[in-house]
């Protein structure tokens, strides 16, 4: 019988590798503990999600978040689960979330650690009430050890400085997808045992694809390079691409990215002229950076259309970014179209 590797065993073996071994992909004990706590929190969120109406978790709350979005009850529940699970463990200095304006510093009654945790506690909120896959996205940075007390400034690091990133998708299966810098692994929740079990390692995104993910209703607002790319896809095999394309848009980034990590594809949430000052809809720190690192770790490309997402030096906690990520050859084509358009 093939041996089942639990998330705990996977992380302990990663940690063990870190004694003396150099380079990325091995993890210190405190990071292992942090990732185990995040996974446990995702299990609790998954439980709440599967209860749906029976758990009183559907529908909107009476509040608005810093993004100007009406919060869903599950946005708030998931946020609270992650805060409460992570604040006492001693591995974190502070947390930041889509659902909180400023940072959440670990209360003085608990020991402070060296890690910073950012998360989108419930991604795909518009899908909660219609029973479509949603998820949690997380990103881990190291706080500057010499720095003074932790502040928002500590979080403003480029995505290339992440030490761990992942998401948990609440779909027909609950699956945790994780990278610590040496590839991408997937863990499926065994509900009977209550543990995440390794179901895929060394995930690879195919370099080519015939499947694009974009919200087509925004087409008239896009910049010319994006419009050129999608127009060519729509012309199919009779057009310049010489092949037909399929379209998917789930409106949960976790579900669209999970499909791309599983079978390839290109995902785009580009700039559009309705709000010219806003580079895009998605948030850099807890959507584009963690998803961008996962895609890169699986051999894909993650760009704004003009620059690598993970190279962006953030200036604000909730800043937004244009996102083009997935199969290498397709993303590079979109980048080329941007360069040709200047
Ligand atoms: P969130 O629910 O965390 O606010 O994120 C939703 C995001 C992302 O998950 C998805 O790709 C995108 O919004 C969908 O946007 P549209 O509804 O405009 O298509
Ligand atoms: Mn989101
Ligand atoms: Mn969200
Ligand atoms: Mn939201």
pLDDT digits (tens, 9 = 90+) for 230-256: 999 999 999 999 999 999 999 999 999
pLDDT band with cut points at 50, 70 and 90 for residue 21: very low
Can you tell me which atom of ligand 1 is nearest the CA of 120? 3
pLDDT band with cut points at 50, 70 and 90 for residue 51: very high
Q: Any idea which ligand is nearest the CA of 128?
A: 1
Q: What is the pLDDT of residue 137?
A: 99
Q: What is the pLDDT of residue 26?
A: 79
Average pLDDT over residues 263-278: 96
Please list, in sequence order, all residues whose beta carbon lies within 8 angstroms of the beta carbon of residue 95, skipping any fewer than 6 positions away.
82, 83, 86, 87, 103, 104, 106, 116, 117, 118, 119
Q: Which residues are annotated as a binding site?
A: 98, 120, 122-126, 215, 281, 287
State the Cα–Cα distance between residues 38 and 107, nearest whole angstrom. 18
Q: What pTM was estimated for this model as a whole?
A: 0.97
**What interface predicted TM-score (ipTM) does this complex get?**
0.99
State the Cα–Cα distance between residues 110 and 227, nearest whole angstrom. 51
pLDDT digits (tens, 9 = 90+) for 84-95: 999 999 999 999
Structure tokens at 284: 């850099």
Q: What is the pLDDT of residue 342?
A: 76
pLDDT digits (tens, 9 = 90+) for 216-226: 999 999 999 99
120 lines ligand 1 (CB under 6 A): yes
Minimum CA distance residue for ligand 1 atom 19:
251
Average pLDDT over residues 179-186: 96
97 lines ligand 1 (CB under 6 A): no
Q: For residue 26, how far is the Cα from the chain centroid?
A: 21
Per-residue pLDDT at 12 exceeds 60: yes
Structure tokens at 113: 């650690």
Cα 105 to middle of ligand 4, angstroms: 22
70 lines ligand 1 (CB under 6 A): no
* Closest to 27 in 3D by CA, of 120, 118, 140: 140
Pocket mutation for ligand 1, best pick of 136, 269, 272, 283 (most atoms within 8 Å of C-beta): 269
Pocket mutation for ligand 1, best pick of 271, 281, 286, 322 (most atoms within 8 Å of C-beta): 281
pLDDT band with cut points at 50, 70 and 90 for residue 18: low
Cα 272 to middle of ligand 3, angstroms: 21
| 225 secondary structure, DSSP code | H
Average pLDDT over residues 141-154: 90
7 lines ligand 1 (CB under 6 A): no
75 lines ligand 1 (CB under 6 A): no
Per-residue pLDDT at 313 exceeds 60: yes
pLDDT digits (tens, 9 = 90+) for 285-310: 999 999 999 999 999 999 999 999 99
Minimum CA distance residue for ligand 1 atom 17:
251
Q: Which residue has the tokens 């993970």?
A: 310
Q: Taking all residues of the chain, what is their mean pLDDT, rounded to a whole number?
A: 95
Minimum CA distance residue for ligand 1 atom 12:
251
Q: What is the pLDDT of residue 1?
A: 63
Q: Give the Cα-Cα-Cα angle 111, 139, 278 (nearest 5 degrees).
A: 125
Pocket mutation for ligand 1, best pick of 251, 256, 287 (most atoms within 8 Å of C-beta): 251
Q: Which residues are annotated as a binding site for substrate?
A: 123-126, 215, 281
Please list, in sequence order, all residues whose beta carbon lies within 8 angstroms of the beta carbon of residue 295, skipping any fewer than 6 positions away.
205, 257, 260, 261, 301, 302, 325, 326
Per-residue pLDDT at 116 exceeds 80: yes
pLDDT band with cut points at 50, 70 and 90 for residue 62: confident
- What is Dmax (Cα atoms) for the chain? 66
State the Cα–Cα distance between residues 309 and 301, nearest whole angstrom. 9
């Amino acid at each position: 019988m093939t041996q089942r590797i639990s998330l705990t065993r996977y992380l302990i073996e990663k940690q063990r590798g870190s004694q003396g071994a150099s380079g990325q992909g091995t993890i210190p004990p405190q990071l292992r503990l942090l990732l185990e706590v995040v996974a446990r929190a995702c299990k609790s969120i998954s439980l709440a999600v599967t209860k749906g109406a029976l758990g009183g978790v559907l529908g909107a709350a009476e509040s608005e978040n810093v993004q100007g979005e009406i919060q869903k009850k599950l946005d708030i529940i998931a946020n609270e689960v992650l805060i409460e699970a992570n604040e006492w463990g001693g591995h974190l200095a502070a947390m930041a979330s889509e659902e909180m304006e400023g940072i959440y510093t670990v209360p003085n009654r608990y020991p402070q650690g060296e890690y910073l945790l950012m998360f989108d506690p419930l991604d795909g909120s518009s899908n909660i009430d219609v029973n479509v896959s949603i998820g949690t996205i997380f990103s881990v940075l190291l706080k500057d050890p010499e720095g003074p007390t932790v502040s928002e400034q500590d979080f403003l690091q480029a995505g290339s400085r992440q030490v761990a990133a992942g998401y948990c998708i609440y779909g027909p299966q609950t699956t945790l997808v994780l990278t610590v810098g040496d590839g991408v692994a997937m863990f499926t929740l065994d509900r009977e045992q209550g543990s995440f079990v390794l179901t895929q390692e060394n995930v690879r995104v195919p370099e080519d694809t015939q499947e694009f993910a974009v919200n087509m209703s925004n087409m008239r607002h896009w910049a010319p390079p994006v419009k050129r790319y999608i127009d060519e896809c729509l012309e199919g095999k009779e057009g310049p691409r010489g092949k037909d394309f399929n379209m998917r848009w789930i409106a949960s980034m976790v579900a669209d990215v999970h499909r791309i990590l599983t079978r390839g594809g290109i995902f785009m949430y580009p700039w559009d002229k309705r709000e010219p000052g806003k580079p895009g809809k998605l948030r850099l720190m807890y959507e584009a950076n963690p998803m961008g690192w996962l895609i890169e770790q699986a051999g894909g490309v993650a760009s704004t259309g003009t620059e690598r997402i993970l190279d962006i030096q953030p200036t604000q906690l909730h800043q937004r970014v244009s996102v083009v990520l997935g199969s290498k050859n397709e993303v590079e084509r979109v980048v080329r179209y941007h360069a040709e358009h200047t």
